Each structure stands twice: as C-alpha cells, then as structure tokens.
Amino acid sequence: MQMAMSSAVVQRPSVAKAFASKPSSRAVAARRANVVAQAASTQLKRADVPLELEEIGLPMNTFGPKNPFIGKIVSVETITGPKATGETCHIIIQTDKKIPFVEGQSYGVIPPGTKINSKGKEVPHGTRLYSIAATRYGDSFDGMTTSLCVRRAVYWDPEMGKEDPAKKGICSNFLCDAKPGQEITMTGPTGKVLLLPEDPNAVVICVATGTGIAPFRTFWRRMFMENIPGYKFTGAGPLARRRGFRALRGGGGPRLYDEEMAACAAAYPDQFRLDYALSREQQNVRGGKMYIQDKVEEYSDEVFDLLNNGAHIYFCGLKGMMPGILEMLERVATGKGLNYAEWFEGLKHKNQVHVEVY
C-alpha cells in the first residue's frame, strides 16, 4: 500500500545497542526457507520483532562518506535463473542495529579501491545508492541485518563479442561477488520519497520494474509478515486492496521474490493483489509486447477510481518506464473527460504520486 509522505521532523536516532546474538547465513537461510514453505499454504505466520525499532523516528544521513558505517556481508544469493537476461543478487548485511532506517529508504555503498578524477588526482570511489530490500527488522526479523537487491552491471561489447570487464559496474560487481564476512562501507540511510504513510488503511498501488521491487518488498513484509502491535494494516474490501505491478523483460528463471508475494497473496487475498507484465511472454490488448504501462492500463478504471478516492501510487525502477506510463495516464484521463494536467497536478499536490527511478 502506498501512502502520502509523512511530514514528521527528521531526527537522528540514538544508536540502539546490538544484541549479543548474531545471525549466521545458515539461520537467515532457514528463515527464508520457512517463508517459501508457507507460500504453498494460505497460512502466513507473522514474526515477532524487537519493537524498540518502532521508536527510531526518521533517520537521515546518520553516516556519510567521511564517517561511514562498516557492515559485514552475511550472504549473497543469486535470485535470477540461468535463462534470465542478467544476474540479480539478494545481499544480506550484518548491521547490529547500528544504522537504523525505515521502510522506503536507501543506503549508500562505497566500493573499495580508487579512481582518477578529472583533475588527475587519485580519489576513493563515489557512493552508489541502493534501495533497501528489507524492513527495519531485516530478513531474520531481529533487526540485526539489512538487505539489498542488486543487479550485476555488465557491458556487452558487440565488436569483441563478449563482456568487457573494463566497463563493468564497479559497485554492483563488488556486491554480487562479495563473500560472507567481507566488510562493506555504507552511508545513509537517506530518502523520503517512498516512505509508507501513517494511515494503515490507505490504498497502495506499487509499480516496479526489475530491482525497483526492492522498496515494495519492505512494504509487504511490514504489512503482512511482521507482528507489530502499533502498526497493523486493517484495510478490507475493494478500496483497501494492494495491487502490485512489476515488469520483467526476462522470461527465464524465477521472478524476484515470487515466493514471498505468493505467500502474501494466498494468506491475504482481499488485501494483496498481484499482476505481472512480461514483455517476452505476453501481449497487450493491441497485439504488441506487454509493457508495464499496458498492464496498468488493463486496470485503468480501478486505478483511477482508487486514485480519485485517495490512493497512493508508487513507481520504482528504470527511468525509461515513466514516459510510457505518463502517456498512458494522459490518454486514459482524456478518455474519461478529465483535464489531465489539472488531475495529475492535484495528485502530486496531495502527495499521492511517489516516483523514484534511476
């Protein structure tokens, strides 16, 4: 569910003391396997969590390039199949509650090594931002870890007929190649655009491409997988349904976090709804490839009705998705007799539209 951004005052939280117990990669894997097992049933048990993390406010830039946080890699798991167009990894990082964040924020990662800047000086690599893919309680629900969803950036040289290692993404390859126990230099957290609203009844529409699914994973885990007495999604009925959209260009291998979404959809069918746009496998109503804007348009009557009744719509992923989506919204709005410019500006004025693309 997407909601208006909170206008709470930004504050630096006091760093919580780390618990003595530290999650191992085996323990984290066991908990994730439990989620997969539950996906086959309609039962999804909510996990108990350390509720002191509900009192952290809105952390912002607790750590920066000059005073970074040093985390440790717990595990790196490839979550795309062998036939997928590219490799995406789910990376769990040990943080010991020392760099707290809230759902929808991002961390910065500074890869090791140096580069030569435009002045010919050797300097450290710059910070790369990644949307956090876990709630404040992490994959193991104890607040001791965080997670990132990272696509390995590579460059295929058509003249060489192979990947050019000199042009690969420095940070994404560092993360995807990292080993358990390896240190990782982090900054943040940062970001207010994709924060969940305070109202647990607000309708949320999630539109994602690729690793843009990361912040939405934090939403569904907080809503449906964690036992938080002070935060309980209570929406019911057609005006309180969460519809998540995600477009994947590759048709091979597993879709990102399918098991968790399947578990949520099975356990909460009236509150969690899901659909896909698979350009290599599906066609739109006009007989062309199915892109994300086509899938949203299929539900345009419901989407417009929800937005006109206060729903929030979130977009995250590649920036190339937005022109097609905006063109579709304008076309549908015009067909409904609306003044598109006024209608869309009104949504933005009420903080119902949230966009974070890269």
Active site residue 149: no
Task: In whole angstroms, give the CA distance from residue 87 to residue 163.
Answer: 14
From the candidates 14, 41, 55, 358, which is the catalytic residue? Answer: 358
280 is an annotated ligand-binding site residue: yes
175 labelled binding-site residue: no
* 151 is an annotated ligand-binding site residue: yes
24 annotated to bind ligand: no
**Do residues 317 and 210 lie in contact, with contact meaning Cβ atoms separated by under 8 Å?**
yes
Alpha-carbon distance 22 to 24, whole Å? 6
- Catalytic-labelled residue, pool 259, 260, 297, 356: 356
Residue 53: burial class (beta carbons within 10 Å; 0-12, 13-18, 19+): buried
User: Any known ligand binding at 131?
Assistant: yes
Does 41 show up as a binding residue in the annotation? no
Which one of the listed residues 107, 130, 137, 314 is annotated catalytic? 130
Whether residue 131 lies in the annotated active site = yes
Q: Spot the catalytic one: 89, 171, 264, 316.
A: 316
Does the annotation mark 340 as catalytic? no
Told to judge if 259 belongs to the known catalytic residues of this protein, a careful annotator would answer no
| Residue 273 assigned as binding residue | no
In eight-state DSSP terms, residue 10 is P
Listed in order, strand segments (DSSP E) in the chain are: 47-48, 69-78, 88-94, 106-110, 114-116, 122-124, 128-131, 145-151, 156-157, 162-163, 183-190, 204-209, 226-227, 242-248, 272-278, 312-317, 353-357
β-strand partners of 114: 124
From the candidates 87, 103, 107, 131, which is the catalytic residue?
Answer: 131
Active site residue 130: yes
Q: Which residues pair with 116 in a beta bridge?
A: 122
Comparing C-alpha atoms, which of 348, 67, 79, 305 is closest to residue 203?
305
Nearest to 3 by CA among 192, 145, 164: 192
Binding residues for NADP(+): 131, 151, 211, 279-280, 289, 317-318, 356
Which residues form the catalytic set? Answer: 130-131, 316, 356, 358
Binding residues: 131, 151, 211, 279-280, 289, 317-318, 356
